[in-house]
């Protein structure tokens, strides 16, 4: 049975997901993400303002949840930090406007999509099915992409003229069959992402969503396509993340059960006996993991070290923008490849806390709800992916593809609020009956 959106917001969200590969084929994904975010924000504002005067399918689901307010506040503080850094370093009005537009296409989305998910009548099932449809198209296109390097086809098909709208780089508007790993000159696939490691993390998100699908066919499409993305991107971070981000939320409720503590006690006893040998094996595995792509590890560690060392030059508001790196880091921008070190360098302690506080609160909320109810599994998987992402990428410039995950956080906040309201109403009825 085909999935049918129930209202205008659901139609917009579902169609955008279904056409993901089409948008990628014309290099439009970087434009579509921010446009969708601000469009849904407009619909949410209209719903909140007009309320009962709208037709039922467009009315707000309730007040804005606390966690969404926290994301909104954090991203507004991020904008203030941006202005502070530009003012401190005299970067000028033109650069300030350009960076503010960049904020609207990046950091702002971390608040806009949770707000849309919390306020608009978009069901969880809409995002789940949409991700599985992307998975089906991925599987259909996979044989062509896999054969491309061996058939002598070019890596990059073309760069979209939409790059004229501006963005972090041409790779955001490029369409690829595959890319070649510069350390081994073997093919890697990046699917509809700007580079391979991020595509691997999107594969984890796809698997997490697909695990919620009720129809076996669509569930299989989502899981198989997600795993293919993880494997073919050859991303070390994704190979670790797929286990942590999908198994972890399903194991977490065990901590609330007595036998889990008994197992933990038995594990601790075994570790006391065999711990030395286990830690030696772990250290060997970490060494092999880092040396699997040693050049990449070296560049990332050097970028982080430079960003941290130069943070003291602009403690509160940072340097305002990324800066070209030296030959040591292959001229990669200082402030890239790591969200936390990047924030310290670009936006200082103010920007660092503007992301840290809402992310910590979001993590605590989804962990507690995951222990209590199965609805918390998918949001916890998403938060785990976000955390993993922050330690290897810059999350703000990738929010345009993470939008279904961000929207899911808002839907989860709404689901929790509705469950609390129902519980309160039942308690009130029970008290009245007595």
List, for residues 289-324, the tens digit of each pLDDT value: 444 454 566 677 777 777 777 777 878 888 878 777
Residue 101 pLDDT greater than 90, yes or no: yes
Q: Which residues contact 120 (CB under 8 A, 6 or more apart)?
A: 9, 40, 43, 44, 47, 60, 61
Distance CA(265)–CA(224), nearest Å, equals 36
CA-to-CA distance for 172 and 163, rounded, in angstroms?
8
CA distance 366 to 350: 25
| Cα(135)–Cα(142) distance, integer angstroms | 10
What is the three-class DSSP state of 59?
Answer: coil
Rounded to an integer, what distance in angstroms lies between the CA atom of residue 413 and that of residue 395?
21
Global pTM reads 0.89
Name the residue among 284, 204, 296, 286 with its Cα closest to residue 241: 204
Contact 138, 191 (CB under 8 A): yes
Instruction: Please check the confidence at residue 224 and state whether its pLDDT lies above 90.
Output: yes
Q: What digits encode the pLDDT tens for the residues 115-124?
A: 999 999 999 9
For the ranges 77-81, 264-268, 350-354, the lowest mean pLDDT is seen at 264-268
In 89-108, alpha helices (H): 92-105
Under 8 Å between Cβ of 272 and 310: no
């Amino acid at each position: 049975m085909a999935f049918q959106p129930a209202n205008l917001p659901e139609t917009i969200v579902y169609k955008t997901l279904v056409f993901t590969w089409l948008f990628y084929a014309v290099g439009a994904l970087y434009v579509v993400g921010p446009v969708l975010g601000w469009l849904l924000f407009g619909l949410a504002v209209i719903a909140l303002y007009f309320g009962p005067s709208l037709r039922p399918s467009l009315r707000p689901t309730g007040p804005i949840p606390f966690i969404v307010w926290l994301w909104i506040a954090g991203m507004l503080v991020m904008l203030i930090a941006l202005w502070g850094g530009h003012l401190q370093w005299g970067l000028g009005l033109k650069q300030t406007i350009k960076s503010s537009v960049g904020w609207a296409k990046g950091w702002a989305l971390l608040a806009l999509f949770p707000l849309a998910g919390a306020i608009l009548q978009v069901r969880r099932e809409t995002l789940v099915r949409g991700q599985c449809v992307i998975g089906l198209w991925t599987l259909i296109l996979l044989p062509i992409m896999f054969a491309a390097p061996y058939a002598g086809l070019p890596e990059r098909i073309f760069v979209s003229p939409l790059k004229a709208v501006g963005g972090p780089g041409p790779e955001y508007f490029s369409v690829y069959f595959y890319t070649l790993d510069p350390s081994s000159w073997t093919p890697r696939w990046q699917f509809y992402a700007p580079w391979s490691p991020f595509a691997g993390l999107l594969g984890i998100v796809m698997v997490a969503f697909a695990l919620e699908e009720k129809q076996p066919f669509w569930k299989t499409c989502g899981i198989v396509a997600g795993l293919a993305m993880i494997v073919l991107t050859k991303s070390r971070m994704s190979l670790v993340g797929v286990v942590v981000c999908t198994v972890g939320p399903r194991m977490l409720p065990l901590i609330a059960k007595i036998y889990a503590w008994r197992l933990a006690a038995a594990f601790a006893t075994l570790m006391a006996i065999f711990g030395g040998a286990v830690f030696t094996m772990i250290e060997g595995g970490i060494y092999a993991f880092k040396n699997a792509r040693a050049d990449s590890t070296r560049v990332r560690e050097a970028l982080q070290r430079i960003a941290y060392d130069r943070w003291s030059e602009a403690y509160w508001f940072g340097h305002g923008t990324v800066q070209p790196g030296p030959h040591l880091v292959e001229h990669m921008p200082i402030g890239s490849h790591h969200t936390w070190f990047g924030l310290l360098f670009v936006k200082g302690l103010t920007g660092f806390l503007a992301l840290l506080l809402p992310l910590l609160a979001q993590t605590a909320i989804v962990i507690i709800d995951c222990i209590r109810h199965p609805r918390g599994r998918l949001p916890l998987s998403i938060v785990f992916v976000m955390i993993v992402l922050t330690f290897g990428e810059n999350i703000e410039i990738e929010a345009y593809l993470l939008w279904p995950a961000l929207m899911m956080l808002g839907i989860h906040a709404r689901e929790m609020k509705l469950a609390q309201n129902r519980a309160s109403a039942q308690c009130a009825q029970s008290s009245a009956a007595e």
